[in-house]
Amino acid sequence: MLAAIRSASIVGIDAFDVCVEVDVASGLPHWTLVGLPAGEVKESRERVTAALSNSGFPVPPRRVTVSLSPGDTRKAGTGFDLPIAVGLLVALGEIPIDAVNELVFLGELGLDGAIRGVRGALSVARHLSDQTTRALVLPPANVDEAGLVRCVPLVAPSTLRDLVDALRSGVLINATPGERTTTESDDTDFADVVGQESAKRALEIAAAGGHACLLIGPPGAGKTMLARRLPSILPALTEDEALEVTAIHSVAGLLSSSGLRLSARPFRAPHHSISSAGLVGGGGVPRPGEVSLAHHGVLFLDELLEFPRSALEALRQPLEDGRVTIARAALSVAFPARFSLIAAMNPCPCGNAGEPTRTCTCGESEIVRYRSRLSGPLTDRIDMHVTLGAVSPQLLQHPSDGEASLAIRGRVEASRAVQRRRYASLPTAVRCNAHASGRWLLSHGAIDREAKALVTSAMESLKLSARGYHRVLRVGRTIADLEGSVAVSTDHVAEALRYRPR
Ligand SMILES: [Zn+2]
């Protein structure tokens, strides 16, 4: 007897249909699983047979063949336990075949028959939203997450036995997602930041134009504090962006079982001991890395020069394309990775160089060697270098009356709207000034003749490369957009020039 059960699997953060066929035939007891299963899928045999037997449905000694199609795509995850078990029960005549029509099954089985949560349920629900489906049968632990996609009915039995009873009786009770817990931004606000006005200005420009930014300053200058507040001035996430961000965290297994929807822009701050795979994604079954967890948000790399060079070089692709592609023998997986990069470093190994009230203990050659590590493929992609001084103790005693993030965000959103209109006819990878090519800006960016002349003359004094030249144009364009100015003037590029390394 043959049964075909609908299920789904994930590549990157996108789900695709999988048909689970189960055939039970007479012959010597044997279990065959085909269709490019990953290790954890192969192990489903042990979980499924134990769960069935402990739920009162011992698998008779027959020849069992399980086939996952399409057969040429690798299947990962533990979510096939449930469709395989249901397929077996249909094939054995325990569940009427009509009972599983237009149902999609996803879930891991405990040996006792409990239906356990899986990764990526939100992606499966998103995938099913434009298909004809009676319901998605999934673990109770994934209901809140999958429920974010409102149009897909969910059924969430807690045990295999409950599921069989429901399918036999034909009464499927829809699960209701719990209260939508959301992560609002954690109260960080630029109003709390004492002093550092020029750094705040720089971060406003970075937020407005999507520019990568390097903060250089001594310990205690507030680099981390400033970076942590960048999400609070970025435009609010749209509904679609929030779902996409939540789906990435779901695939990474980082969504709490309470069905968190990430409604604030992510802020990721990996330690410099992270591997390249941890940073950009990887693994036998590719998982998203920090760059994808920071999608639509902020990736903060503190102590930039301590990161291994290989990890920093791996950042080039996502910085350029807004996505990461991980190639494996059986599949190539792409994860979205469009993030704002904020990096931070000390001015010298001891951290005190350039501070009037502190003593730098580093030798000149030591500082030169330290700084030279900056010239790399990554720093070449950082539009803005911002130098911060230590905050004076007198200033710290005053309660801050800095401008609130909400007001800054208003200006950022207005300038982003101008940029979206400007780049509307270009490929979707280009939506803000940071992604525009210097050449395009030179001819279409409304840059004054005097402004161009100023940057050209600065090329010599600052030893700007052609890339550096384009960087100044991009940042200058953003400064003009923040001001609501159609043309980029000498004032705008003069400010942009301050963000070139000395
Ligand atoms: Zn020093």
Distance 152 CA to ligand 1 centre (A): 59
Q: What is the pLDDT of residues 29-45, one digit of tens each?
A: 899 999 988 888 888 99
Segment 366-388 shows an average pLDDT of 82
412, 428, 446 — which closes off a domain? 412
Distance 374 CA to ligand 1 centre (A): 16
Distance 379 CA to ligand 1 centre (A): 21
Check residues 482 and 306 and name the one with the higher pLDDT.
Answer: 482
CATH number at residue 83: 3.30.230.10
Say if residue 86 is in the same domain as residue 200.
no
Segment 254-268 shows an average pLDDT of 71
Say if residue 339 is in the same domain as residue 194.
yes
Going by pLDDT thresholds of 50, 70 and 90, the confidence category of residue 463 is: confident
Report the first-to-last Cα separation within the chain, whole angstroms.
76
**CA pair distance 41, 360, nearest whole angstrom:** 58
Say if residue 397 is in the same domain as residue 465.
no
Q: What is the pLDDT of residues 83-97, one digit of tens each?
A: 999 999 999 999 999
Distance 345 CA to ligand 1 centre (A): 12
Give the range among 32-41, 89-98, 203-212, 227-236 with minimum mean pLDDT.
Answer: 32-41
Distance 389 CA to ligand 1 centre (A): 14
Going by pLDDT thresholds of 50, 70 and 90, the confidence category of residue 399 is: low
Q: What is the pLDDT of residues 424-457, one digit of tens each?
A: 998 877 889 998 988 899 999 999 999 999 999 9
User: Quick check: 186 pLDDT over 70?
Assistant: no
Distance 387 CA to ligand 1 centre (A): 15
User: Quick check: 375 pLDDT over 80?
Assistant: no
Q: Residue 212, SS3? A: coil
Peptide bond into 70 cis (omega under 30): yes
The per-residue pLDDT for 258 is 42
Largest CA distance in the chain: 87
In a domain, 52, yes or no: yes
Say if residue 246 is in the same domain as residue 304.
yes
Distance 64 CA to ligand 1 centre (A): 69
Say if residue 142 is in the same domain as residue 206.
no
Distance 367 CA to ligand 1 centre (A): 7
Distance 348 CA to ligand 1 centre (A): 5
Q: With the CA atoms of 75, 256, 148 and 18 taken in that order, what torsion angle do they form, in degrees rounded to the nearest 10? A: 10
In a domain, 174, yes or no: no
377, 412, 447 — which closes off a domain? 412
In a domain, 424, yes or no: no
Q: What is the pLDDT of residues 115-142, one digit of tens each?
A: 999 999 999 999 999 888 899 999 999 9
Question: Percent of the chain having pLDDT more than 90?
Answer: 54
Check residues 284 and 31 and name the one with the higher pLDDT.
Answer: 31
**CA pair distance 251, 119, nearest whole angstrom:** 5
Distance 362 CA to ligand 1 centre (A): 4
User: Quick check: 222 pLDDT over 50?
Assistant: yes
In a domain, 446, yes or no: yes
3-state DSSP percent of the chain in helix, strand and coil, to 5: 40, 20, 40
The answer to whether the Cα torsion of 419, 420, 426, 431 is positive or negative is positive
> SS in 3 state form for 1-61?
CEEEEEEEEEECCEEEEEEEEEEEECCCCEEEEECCECHHHHCHHHHHHHHHHHCCCCCCC
Say if residue 235 is in the same domain as residue 123.
no
CATH number at residue 496: 1.10.8
User: Quick check: 164 pLDDT over 60?
Assistant: yes
Give the range among 276-285, 340-349, 468-477 with minimum mean pLDDT.
Answer: 276-285
Q: Residue 135, SS3? A: strand
Distance 272 CA to ligand 1 centre (A): 20
103, 134, 169 — which closes off a domain? 169
Range of the domain at 479: 436-502
In a domain, 212, yes or no: yes
The per-residue pLDDT for 320 is 84
Say if residue 237 is in the same domain as residue 298.
yes
The per-residue pLDDT for 328 is 73
Say if residue 112 is in the same domain as residue 197.
no
The per-residue pLDDT for 255 is 78
In a domain, 422, yes or no: no
Distance 461 CA to ligand 1 centre (A): 26
The per-residue pLDDT for 387 is 92
In a domain, 396, yes or no: yes
Q: What is the pLDDT of residues 299-314, one digit of tens each?
A: 999 999 889 888 888 8
Distance 371 CA to ligand 1 centre (A): 11
Going by pLDDT thresholds of 50, 70 and 90, the confidence category of residue 465 is: confident
The per-residue pLDDT for 282 is 85
The number of domains in the chain is: 3
Segment 329-355 shows an average pLDDT of 88
User: Quick check: 257 pLDDT over 50?
Assistant: no
Q: Residue 425, SS3? A: coil
Question: How many secondary structure helices (H) and strands (E) does the chain include?
Answer: 20, 18
Distance 215 CA to ligand 1 centre (A): 16
In a domain, 497, yes or no: yes
Q: What is the pTM assigned to this prediction?
A: 0.85
The per-residue pLDDT for 259 is 46
Phi-psi region for residue 306, left (φ > 0), alpha (ψ -120 to 50) or beta?
A: alpha
Say if residue 319 is in the same domain as residue 381.
yes
**CA pair distance 351, 360, nearest whole angstrom:** 7
Distance 467 CA to ligand 1 centre (A): 29
CATH number at residue 351: 3.40.50.300
Segment 175-187 shows an average pLDDT of 65
Say if residue 284 is in the same domain as residue 407.
yes
**CA pair distance 109, 115, nearest whole angstrom:** 5
The per-residue pLDDT for 283 is 79
Distance 192 CA to ligand 1 centre (A): 29
Segment 166-195 shows an average pLDDT of 78
User: Quick check: 356 pLDDT over 50?
Assistant: yes
Distance 308 CA to ligand 1 centre (A): 21
Distance 217 CA to ligand 1 centre (A): 11
Distance 471 CA to ligand 1 centre (A): 29
The per-residue pLDDT for 79 is 94
Say if residue 61 is in the same domain as residue 115.
yes
Say if residue 399 is in the same domain as residue 312.
yes
Distance 354 CA to ligand 1 centre (A): 8
Segment 1-14 shows an average pLDDT of 91
Distance 361 CA to ligand 1 centre (A): 5
Distance 359 CA to ligand 1 centre (A): 7
